[in-house]
Amino acid sequence: MAEFESKGSSNFIRNIIEEDIRNGVFGGRVHLRFPPEPNGYLHIGHAKSICLNFGLAAEYGGLCNLRFDDTNPTKEELEYVESIKEDIKWLGFDWGDREYYASDYFDQLYQYAVQLIKAGKAYVCDLSAEQIKEYRGTLTRPGRESPYRNRSVEENLDLFERMRAGEFEDGSRVLRAKIDMASPNLNMRDPVMYRILHAEHHRTGDKWCIYPTYDFTHGQSDSIEGITHSICTLEFEDHRPLYDWFLDELKIHHPKQIEFARLNLSHMVLSKRKLLALVEGGYVSGWDDPRMPTLSGFRRRGYTPASIRNFCERIGVAKRESVVDIALLEHCVREDLNKHAPRVMAVLNPLRVVIDNYPEGKRETLEALNNPEDPGMGTRKVPFSRVLYIEQDDFMENPPKKFYRLAPGREVRLRYAYFIRCVDVVKDQNTGEVKELHCTYDPATRGGDAPDGRRVKATLHWVSAQHAIPAEVRLYDHLFTVPAPKEEDEGADFTAYLNPHSLITLKSCRVEPSLQGAAPGSRYQFERLGYFCVDAFDSSDGWLVFNRTVTLKDAWAKIKKGQGLNPA
Ligand code: ATP
Ligand code: MG
């Protein structure tokens, strides 16, 4: 489990930055960047990186750029660029006017490549991709030098220029850095800098038919933007010598690359490739399906930006990979919604209740608290009448010992209303299913307390049948049944671990009338049931659709209690 760190507390990245500020490295400046590749929607792992980069920049009075790492020409990138910007803003961060694209640096990168060729540090290689791989060797076997390695500078300049001019087929030649085929680090064995790809780019169109690799692009883009600390995930640790080599050879501004462990979340996959497979395979309704670990999915599900930022702060940053329990994320959401979400009553699986001794046609309005955690949120009126709905599972005809809710002959409290006692049960003649309850109410218990001090063991939520609004409610559960679908994936298809019950749709729910016209995206606590938000896409004027954000049961608090810790 990841260690806990709160804002302002130290972590190893802060230590490096603070030391650099103290020693006047980079003139005391702090300038960071968040560099997404626009090939998918942002997920909660990206949120960790966003919070880290934008958060540290703000903390040290620095800047954070948004840079699209768009060196791979593909078709759908525009949709991704727009969604990425929307998600970063939603999370609460601002890149000001510093929206950059690696593709904006293609001319400069080309010049850098020419500079390295002239210095005898890069060459055009005619080996095929398979041959390059073959020649590279392995961790235990040194590589072999390409027969094209000692081409003259003039020949290299000529061939590279002709690569750019489109004279050669895709894959027929590459530009490689001339480093060390015997290096223990495979990344240093003459890595590829440019490949030929006759493909349209979403920003540069058909201007280029050669594209720089990630390794040749990233550090130089950092340098061009004057980045001071280039924070990335651990898989780039082995690339750092190469990052440094390019910048040293080019003799340009040299940012410091720092690696941290990426976030893994239990019961989830966090790889754009796998998320795309879920979307394309129709396993979810889209990138913003409320079960997806994407920011757009979480937004639609009802998560607040504050709760995600809080989660990212709590998991902290470390050098070692770990899996964070999704229960912690849910705990953060619950904590935030508990403070801010107004309470309402909604019945998901309605059971009709007739109060026999309540006058027909009478209607009372009872006062209900909007949030017991925050009296400042005030009260609202809830209508009460002779026919109500309660939750089907709040009644049992033959209750077992520990069932304290409604049963024949038993008295319970209706929240904010009265005590009622069940006097009769109406069943379907054929199926035996309970269709309707008859109850009596005690007028002296208005507001929910008995003046004679008698007690009941349960308080139920309810709605007035005549006044309630029909609604659809979507109950979401974990997308995967196993805590680590990523590891289970080896050899098997990770979709085999999809939870078949991750979405349950209920279409005959009833919600209290105060929800009439509830704004898309607004969040509520349905008393006793959980937190819900109005679906921003499928709700309309006449039909409210609610997504369950999270249940009330706090698995994280339980885990912490079991470990003898206080829930954070
Ligand atoms: P994925 O593996 O999901 O495809 P990626 O690393 O290819 O992600 P990028 O768009 O390249 O995605 O990532 C942008 C930034 O977000 C990078 O700096 C990357 O290191 C960081 N990042 C991506 N995934 C995570 C994660 N799970 N935890 C923390 N940071 C992440
Ligand atoms: Mg990537």
Q: With pLDDT > 90 as the criterion, what percentage of the chain qualifies?
A: 90
Q: Which of 272, 301, 309, 386 is catalytic?
A: 272
Query: How confident is the model at residue 9, as a pLDDT?
Result: 59
Global pTM? 0.93
Q: How far is the CA of 84 from the centre of ligand 2 (A)?
A: 14
- Joined tokens for residue 448: 């929910």
Lowest mean pLDDT of 202-216, 239-253, 549-563, name the range.
549-563
Residue 262 CA, closest ligand 1 atom number: 28
Domains of the chain with CATH codes? 17-260 (3.40.50.620), 272-342+472-562 (2.40.240.10), 346-461 (2.40.240.10)
H or E, element range at 278: helix 272-280
Q: Average pLDDT, stretch 186-213? A: 96
2 pLDDT more than 60: no
Q: For residues 347 and 391, is the Cβ–Cβ distance under 8 A?
A: yes
Q: Which ligand is nearest to the CA of 232?
A: 1
Q: Which of 262, 274, 352, 415 is catalytic?
A: 262
| Ligand 1 within 6 A of CB of 263 | yes
From 65, 243, 262, 313, mutation site for ligand 1 pocket: most ligand atoms within 8 A of C-beta: 262
Q: Average pLDDT, stretch 436-445? A: 98
Q: How far is the CA of 58 from the centre of ligand 1 (A)?
A: 21
Is 262 among the catalytic positions? yes
183 pLDDT more than 70: yes
Is 486 among the catalytic positions? no
Q: Which ligand is nearest to the CA of 2?
A: 1
What number of other Cβ atoms are within 10 A of residue 526's Cβ? Answer: 24
Q: Which of 37, 155, 200, 373 is catalytic?
A: 37
User: Nearest 5°: phi and psi at 497?
Assistant: -100, 10
Is 272 among the catalytic positions? yes
Render pLDDT for 54-90 as a digit per residue (tens, 0 to 9): 999 999 999 999 999 999 987 668 899 999 999 999 9
Using alpha carbons, select from 85, 135, 474, 534 the residue that is nearest to residue 344: 534
- In 77-227 the beta strands, taken as DSSP E runs, fall at 99-101, 122-125, 174-177, 192-196, 210-212
Q: Average pLDDT, stretch 422-427? A: 98
Query: How confident is the model at residue 562, as a pLDDT?
Result: 64
pLDDT band at 487 (very low <50, low <70, confident <90, very high): low
The residue contributing the CA closest to ligand 1 atom 25 is 45
Residue 42 CA, closest ligand 1 atom number: 10
